[in-house]
Amino acid sequence: MRSAKKKVILCKNCACYHAFYREGFVDFWKEQKGICSERKKIVEENDTCDFGKPPYPIANVTIRALDKAVENLEALEGLFNKACF
């Protein structure tokens, strides 16, 4: 019989983990620590806990939805151009 292994999710791969960034001269540097929105405390990126959630999946968007969004943006652009001039 095989022993069932529990899947462990590191904090850096968890949906609740938000990394800290430090400002440099021309860019931002990622720190090794962040905040866990579930535990409400500062954690290391290699920590684990029972609240581990997999990252959010990438949303699929259809061509029809994109076309509708473009139409809405063009309508808004027309309204703003008429209102400004």
From first to last of its 85 residues, the chain has per-residue pLDDT tens of 455 566 778 888 888 888 999 998 889 998 999 998 888 899 998 888 887 788 777 778 899 999 999 999 999 998 888 766 5
- Three-state DSSP at 53 gives coil
What's the mean per-residue pLDDT of the chain? 84
pLDDT in tens, 14-36: 888 889 999 988 899 989 999 98
Identify the pLDDT of residue 83.
Answer: 67
Can you tell me the distance from the alpha carbon of 83 to that of 54, in angstroms, rounded to the nearest whole number?
Answer: 46
pLDDT at residue 54 in the model: 81
